[in-house]
């Protein structure tokens, strides 16, 4: 069994593709942590471009792979003010198949995606129309609003959800979001260097992005994103949920 089987041709084969991927399962099992990642899309040309970051080769987790910026929820993500709320449809879908549905978790996931994008790329997503937030939580959010930007969740799209299989070195229950590049309110230069978590950022046409050295789930989500763009990026479209049962991946729609 190869580490990376042949890429699937359609979404009906995505779960089968993930099942065929060879994985190290030598780590004691752990509960997955809630996490979020953000796919930035540039629709200014004929072919949509996506922002990908290359992980540092020295990382133990996915070294050298191209990924979307993202990471786990932090406590301050539950406290940050926003300019505009999540779509009720997005909030509803984020609350499906969770033990304790609430308005807090979806909002925290969305803000985690925006914060991680800021920390890893220097890109601030939101608006300067209302000025900075008053008394933001300490840490990265204080730095964020220091540039006069308030995060805005109104135009955030929920693309996919995936849970890392058992006995992997790190496990996440990840929400994949997408936002248009027109939502960029400010950019800080010099955040991505040879010594940072992401050592390179590239805006790449969506079809070409799938040819990069990607983690399997990233390639799968790009395939799902393609389908969603074709469907008009409507919030009402079903959101795929990938998880594993007895070493066989499932694709459920939320």
* DSSP state at residue 84: B
Taking Cα atoms as reference points, which of 67, 238, 70, 241 lies closest to residue 157? 238
Give the tens place of pLDDT for each residue, 225-244.
Answer: 999 999 999 999 999 999 99
Averaged pLDDT score across all residues of the chain: 91
Specify the pairing of strand 33-42 against strand 49-55: antiparallel
Among candidate residues 149, 78, 145, the one with its CA nearest the CA of residue 110: 78
Q: Supply the DSSP string of 125-156, one letter for each residue.
A: ESBSTT-SPSSPPSSHHHHHHTTT-B-B-TT-
Q: If DSSP codes are grouped into helix, strand and coil, which group holds residue 163?
A: strand
What local confidence, expressed as pLDDT, does residue 2 receive?
Answer: 40
The pTM assigned to this predicted structure is 0.94
* 5-27 per-position pLDDT tens digit: 767 767 888 999 899 988 888 88
Using alpha carbons, select from 202, 201, 218, 206 the residue that is nearest to residue 62: 218
């Amino acid at each position: 069994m190869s580490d990376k089987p042949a890429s699937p041709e359609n979404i009906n084969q995505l779960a089968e593709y993930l099942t065929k991927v060879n994985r190290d399962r030598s780590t004691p099992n752990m509960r997955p942590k809630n996490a979020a990642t953000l796919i930035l899309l540039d629709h200014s040309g004929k072919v949509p471009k996506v922002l990908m970051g290359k992980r540092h080769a020295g990382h133990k987790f996915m070294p050298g792979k191209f990924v979307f910026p993202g990471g786990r929820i932090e406590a301050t993500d539950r406290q940050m003010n926003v300019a505009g709320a999540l779509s009720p449809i997005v909030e509803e879908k984020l609350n499906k198949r969770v033990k304790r549905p609430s308005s807090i978790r979806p909002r925290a996931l969305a803000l985690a995606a925006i914060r991680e994008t800021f920390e890893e790329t220097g890109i601030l997503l939101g608006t300067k129309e209302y000025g900075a937030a008053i008394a933001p939580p300490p840490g990265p959010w204080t730095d964020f609003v220091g540039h006069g930007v308030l995060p805005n969740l109104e135009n955030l799209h929920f693309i996919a959800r995936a849970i890392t299989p058992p006995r992997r070195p790190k496990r996440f229950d990840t929400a994949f979001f997408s936002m248009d590049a027109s939502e960029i309110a400010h950019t800080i230069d010099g955040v991505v260097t040879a010594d940072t978590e992401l050592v390179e950022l590239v805006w790449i046409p969506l079809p070409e992005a799938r040819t990069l050295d990607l983690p399997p789930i990233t390639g799968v989500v790009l395939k799902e994103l393609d389908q969603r763009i074709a469907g008009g990026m409507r919030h009402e479209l079903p959101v795929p949920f990938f998880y594993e049962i007895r070493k066989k991946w499932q694709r459920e729609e939320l």
